[in-house]
Chains A and B, each alone.
Chain A
Amino acid sequence: MTSAPLIELRNISKRFGGVRALDDVSLSLDGARIHCLAGENGSGKSTLIKVISGVYQPDEGEIYIDGQKVGPLDPVTSIAHGVQVIYQDFSLFPTLSVVENITLNTFVREGRTRINWTRAREMAREVLQRLDVTLDLDATVETLPAAGRQIVAIARAMLADARLIIMDEPTTTLTGREVARLFRIVRDLQADGIATLFVSHKMREMLEISERLTVFRNGKKVTEGPIAEFDERAITRAMTGRDLHQGRFAAPDLAGRKPRLELRDVTVGHQAHDINLTLMPGEIVGLSGLIGAGRKALAQAVFGLRGDMSGEMRIDGVPVAPKSVPEAIAAGIAYVPEDRLSEGLFLTRSIRDNAIVSSMRRFAPRLWLDGEKAAAETRKMFGEMAISAPGIDVPVGTLSGGNAQRVMIGRWLMTHARVLILNGPTVGVDVGSKEQIHGIIQELTRTSDLAVLMISDDLPELAANCNRVLCMTEGRIMAELSGHTLTEEALDAALSRTTQGEPA
């Protein structure tokens, strides 16, 4: 680029109380470039976005736009300079139509008092055409899948004459095909002269889409350069400050062992059919498949959350048919749901309260809670799970994603579970923490003879942590990979093969 960068930050620092969220950071974003910002949770990425979008004013440093020094930005001037942020929650209006969601901010910006619906429809249609996407303009946004909402958010940003679109973790809720479409759109935007700042912690995506990469750690810029200079290992080292070992999980010795969990011809409603599955103690078995393949229904059925399960289920050879969660817990089953915020944790309560809640009967056999016993066992779990927090009395809402997930897993271990079902065990958890969680799970299968069923969309995670992986499609198990056939590539191939719609 010969011209001045679109946005240049020089020596920006931002403090919150005693914490330095950003420490002397300089960053330069060129027009029509795809730049990636990587870093673990709390590394300062979000603070930096908010400085660019004008939500936060930096304590020190200067901001230049098109080579001109600008004063501290506020949201309105930032938008006027063409900066648009697509937040993780998209900030859309769920009950309003696609048309309105796309056009409302333009009407507000133009200071209109009346709405011209004909013009609004034209604007929406035009911008969706530019994105080469078809959406029902009259559908309410709440009826769209996450990918559709993201399109609406991007369309809205484009209408606002964006020159830089900042996307905060845009691929978290997307399937593989939707990610491909998003990347196509980002490249189209680039062809139109719009720059994108991708905030992500998924290696694969960074390497695929971005042209330049900046890595943050502890509020500092650690490294920066063209993407060609990086590989996964280098990025991980920059983000975590150490090398991660991506050792594979070795299959346990199963000779002479009895199966821990057996499913025989299990059918769950219309979502899972004729499932036969055996889980040995010490095994970590992966369950792969697209969203809607019936993985979650199966897991919920085993955990007693569904009334429409038929077939036979045995734990350590004893037939069980849990009809409720307490029955499933009593049978030794534990389930860590995908969305720990809405389905699992009580954010305002302490780590201890969250930890003991599934084994209440043990800690409160009669009316009173045995506080000492509860605290002691929580502390033991706290140590085993290597949770980093000031103590067991802090509210779970203050913990990072990785630590919250450890509390969640720890809670279930305190029920003395023999079968642990993990759904998306490291969704929203950063790389360093992710590796530790994997290590803990692997260790547990070795020391406590736990049998683990791991549901995940993260193929590298499955390949590295499972001794077997089952691929599920349209409610049936269609393939099994193990040993040397279990590789990311083979998993990817198995998934795309099964979705080509062979036997249904």
Chain B
Amino acid sequence: MKFMRSSDAIILAILVVAMVFIGLVNPAFWQMSNLFSLLKENVVIGIMALGVLLVMISGGIDVSFTAFAVAGMYLTVRVMVALDYNGLVLPFMSAILIGGLLGLMNAGIIHRFKMIPLIVTLGTASVVRGLVLGLVGTSNVNINKMPDALVAFGKADLVTLERANGSTYGLTAMIAIYLGLALALHLVLKYTMIGRSVYAYGADPEAAKRVGFSTGRTMMFVYVTAGALAGFSGLLHSSMIWLANPRDFVGLELDVIAAVVLGGASIFGGRGTVLGTVLGVFILVMIQNSLILMGIDTTWQRIVVGAMLIAAVTVTALRDRRALV
């Protein structure tokens, strides 16, 4: 079996072992309500991770996506509030467009000046966050001001179940959007030339050029898609928590990058799968979730996330180096 030899299979095995272990330590883990909330927490990080995966396959690292998410979300919500607009399609399109345009800026700088993506995105992230706070505003848009359509959208459930005491809980419909996007990205990466050009560029940019790929187009595809996914996830996030905070997502870059690396993508580029990333996000969220269930302080969670990132990078680096010999 091809699948059994892949890193996806190993990640799946790790996930299963971790689930069994966590379930043994804390049987509450297996309660439907906990599993549903776990899946809900996957959505926003997961969509961001898809963008980061794309950048990582192309051999870069993106740390600007949280800033782009904030820009897409906060600008859109503020405009909606100002215009008293109550719709769904246009706001989401606007968030996607804002993210995409900012991504285009990343692509332009990285490709035109042949610069290191990490440094470029550090810079654009800071600039964008500063502009949002300086030009648009610094105050939260709270539930009482949030557009109703967004709030209602974020509340939509796929299934609703009833607890013994009569209260209800459900599985958010947003998970369908997340998995739909993941499937779409998987198909694009696997079956289209632009998708393969991302792998080719990440494996060896010079060879990609010699084969005849237009590398500028590839970079544009990578960073515009990553930016658009970030913008979309930002607005989705605010509709799910009924709040638009211009200082949101600070420090989330690390979690998302850790999840993608955990999912088997190589920081050296040319390697990574959507399935692996989805599993990696699930593992990360699940571990954070069970730390909360066990009552462990949030400061300690940062240590766990950092340690997981280092462990995952070490393992994948060893794998990549062994393969090179």
At the interface, yes or no: B202 with Cβ under 8 Å from chain A?
Answer: yes
Residues of B within 8 A of A104 (CB): 196, 200, 211
Residues of A within 8 A of B199 (CB): 93, 95-96
In the assembled complex, how far is the CB of residue B55 from the closest CB belonging to chain A, in whole angstroms? Answer: 16
Overall SS of chain B's interface: helix
Interface pair B203/A108, CB less than 8 Å apart: no
Given the known inter-chain contacts A93-B204, A95-B202, A140-B323, please indicate yes or no for A113 contacting B212, CB distance below 8 A. Answer: no
Q: How far is the CA of A95 from the CA of B196 in the complex (A)?
A: 12
At the interface, yes or no: A143 with Cβ under 8 Å from chain B?
Answer: yes
- The 8 A CB mask of B201-215 against A (1 = contact, 0 = none) is 011101110111100
Q: How far is the CA of A100 from the CA of B192 in the complex (A)?
A: 12
Residues of B within 8 A of A100 (CB): 196
Interface centre among B194, B210, B213, B266 (most CB of A within 10 A): B210
At the interface, yes or no: B113 with Cβ under 8 Å from chain A?
Answer: no
Given the known inter-chain contacts A96-B203, A105-B211, A109-B212, please indicate yes or no for A138 contacting B2, CB distance below 8 A. Answer: yes
Given the known inter-chain contacts A104-B200, A143-B323, please indicate yes or no for A95 contacting B271, CB distance below 8 A. Answer: yes
Interface set, chain B 263-316, CB cutoff 8 A to A: 266, 269-271
Q: How many residues of B contact A (CB 8 A)?
A: 25
Given the known inter-chain contacts A94-B204, A95-B266, A138-B2, please indicate yes or no for A113 contacting B213, CB distance below 8 A. Answer: no
At the interface, yes or no: A115 with Cβ under 8 Å from chain B?
Answer: yes
Residues of A within 8 A of B24 (CB): none
Residues of A within 8 A of B323 (CB): 94-95, 140, 142-143
Interface pair B192/A113, CB less than 8 Å apart: yes
Residues of B within 8 A of A76 (CB): 212
Q: How far is the CA of A128 from the CA of B286 in the complex (A)?
A: 46
- Smallest Cβ-Cβ distance to A95: which chain B residue: B270
In the assembled complex, how far is the CB of residue B7 from the closest CB belonging to chain A, in whole angstroms? Answer: 12
At the interface, yes or no: B83 with Cβ under 8 Å from chain A?
Answer: no
- Smallest Cβ-Cβ distance to B271: which chain A residue: A95
Residues of A within 8 A of B204 (CB): 91-94
At the interface, yes or no: A56 with Cβ under 8 Å from chain B?
Answer: no
Interface pair A91/B206, CB less than 8 Å apart: yes
At the interface, yes or no: A119 with Cβ under 8 Å from chain B?
Answer: no
Interface pair A108/B212, CB less than 8 Å apart: yes
Interface centre among A96, A107, A138 (most CB of B within 10 A): A96
At the interface, yes or no: B158 with Cβ under 8 Å from chain A?
Answer: no
In the assembled complex, how far is the CB of residue B6 from the closest CB belonging to chain A, in whole angstroms? Answer: 10
- Smallest Cβ-Cβ distance to B192: which chain A residue: A114
Residues of A within 8 A of B324 (CB): 94, 142
- Smallest Cβ-Cβ distance to A87: which chain B residue: B210
Q: How far is the CA of A109 from the CA of B269 in the complex (A)?
A: 24
In the assembled complex, how far is the CB of residue A94 from the closest CB belonging to chain B, in whole angstroms? Answer: 6
A105 touches which of B2, B191, B194, B212 (Cβ 8 Å): B212
- Smallest Cβ-Cβ distance to A90: which chain B residue: B207
In the assembled complex, how far is the CB of residue A386 from the closest CB belonging to chain B, in whole angstroms? Answer: 35
Q: How far is the CA of A68 from the CA of B244 in the complex (A)?
A: 68
At the interface, yes or no: A112 with Cβ under 8 Å from chain B?
Answer: yes
- Smallest Cβ-Cβ distance to B57: which chain A residue: A95
Q: How far is the CA of A104 from the CA of B213 in the complex (A)?
A: 10
- Smallest Cβ-Cβ distance to A109: which chain B residue: B212
Q: How far is the CA of A95 from the CA of B202 in the complex (A)?
A: 9
In the assembled complex, how far is the CB of residue B131 from the closest CB belonging to chain A, in whole angstroms? Answer: 36
Interface pair B196/A115, CB less than 8 Å apart: yes
Number of A-B contacts (CB under 8 A): 64
- Smallest Cβ-Cβ distance to A104: which chain B residue: B211
In the assembled complex, how far is the CB of residue A118 from the closest CB belonging to chain B, in whole angstroms? Answer: 11
At the interface, yes or no: B81 with Cβ under 8 Å from chain A?
Answer: no
Interface set, chain A 110-152, CB cutoff 8 A to B: 112-115, 117, 138, 140, 142-143
Residues of A within 8 A of B271 (CB): 95
Residues of A within 8 A of B202 (CB): 95
In the assembled complex, how far is the CB of residue B58 from the closest CB belonging to chain A, in whole angstroms? Answer: 12
Interface pair B191/A114, CB less than 8 Å apart: yes
- The 8 A CB mask of A45-76 against B (1 = contact, 0 = none) is 00000000000000000000000000000011
At the interface, yes or no: B179 with Cβ under 8 Å from chain A?
Answer: no
Interface set, chain A 300-357, CB cutoff 8 A to B: none
Residues of B within 8 A of A75 (CB): 210
At the interface, yes or no: B193 with Cβ under 8 Å from chain A?
Answer: yes
Interface pair B203/A94, CB less than 8 Å apart: yes
Interface pair A113/B194, CB less than 8 Å apart: yes
In the assembled complex, how far is the CB of residue A102 from the closest CB belonging to chain B, in whole angstroms? Answer: 11
A93 touches which of B2, B190, B203, B212 (Cβ 8 Å): B203
Residues of B within 8 A of A142 (CB): 323-324
- Smallest Cβ-Cβ distance to B2: which chain A residue: A138
B210 touches which of A91, A96, A112, A114 (Cβ 8 Å): A91
Residues of B within 8 A of A112 (CB): 193
Q: How far is the CA of A95 from the CA of B57 in the complex (A)?
A: 10
Q: How far is the CA of A96 from the CA of B211 in the complex (A)?
A: 14
Q: How far is the CA of A104 from the CA of B193 in the complex (A)?
A: 9
Residues of B within 8 A of A94 (CB): 203-204, 270, 323-324
Interface set, chain B 153-198, CB cutoff 8 A to A: 190-194, 196
Given the known inter-chain contacts A108-B213, A140-B323, A143-B323, please indicate yes or no for A92 contacting B207, CB distance below 8 A. Answer: yes
Given the known inter-chain contacts A95-B270, A108-B213, A109-B212, please indicate yes or no for A114 contacting B193, CB distance below 8 A. Answer: yes
Interface pair B203/A95, CB less than 8 Å apart: yes
Residues of A within 8 A of B2 (CB): 138
In the assembled complex, how far is the CB of residue B32 from the closest CB belonging to chain A, in whole angstroms? Answer: 39
Q: How far is the CA of A107 from the CA of B196 in the complex (A)?
A: 11
Interface set, chain B 208-226, CB cutoff 8 A to A: 208, 210-213
Residues of B within 8 A of A138 (CB): 2
In the assembled complex, how far is the CB of residue B92 from the closest CB belonging to chain A, in whole angstroms? Answer: 27
Q: How far is the CA of A115 from the CA of B187 in the complex (A)?
A: 11
Interface pair B200/A96, CB less than 8 Å apart: yes
Residues of B within 8 A of A109 (CB): 212
Residues of A within 8 A of B191 (CB): 114-115, 117
- Smallest Cβ-Cβ distance to A112: which chain B residue: B193
Residues of A within 8 A of B200 (CB): 93, 96, 104
Q: How far is the CA of A170 from the CA of B163 in the complex (A)?
A: 71
Q: How far is the CA of A94 from the CA of B269 in the complex (A)?
A: 10
Interface pair A115/B212, CB less than 8 Å apart: no
Q: How far is the CA of A138 from the CA of B210 in the complex (A)?
A: 23
Q: List 27 A-B contacts (CB under 8 A).
A: A76-B212, A91-B204, A91-B206, A93-B199, A93-B203, A94-B203, A94-B270, A94-B323, A95-B199, A95-B202, A95-B203, A95-B266, A95-B269, A95-B270, A95-B271, A105-B212, A107-B193, A107-B196, A108-B213, A109-B212, A113-B193, A115-B191, A115-B193, A115-B196, A142-B323, A142-B324, A143-B323
10 residue pairs, one from A and one from B, having the closest CB atoms: A95-B270, A93-B203, A91-B207, A108-B212, A105-B211, A95-B203, A95-B271, A142-B323, A91-B210, A113-B193
Q: A91-B204, A95-B269, A95-B271 are in contact. List 19 more A-B contacts (CB 8 A).
A: A75-B210, A76-B212, A91-B210, A92-B204, A92-B207, A93-B270, A94-B203, A95-B199, A95-B203, A96-B203, A96-B270, A104-B211, A108-B193, A108-B213, A112-B193, A114-B192, A114-B193, A115-B192, A140-B323
Question: B residues within 8 Å of A by Cβ?
Answer: 2, 190-194, 196, 199-200, 202-204, 206-208, 210-213, 266, 269-271, 323-324
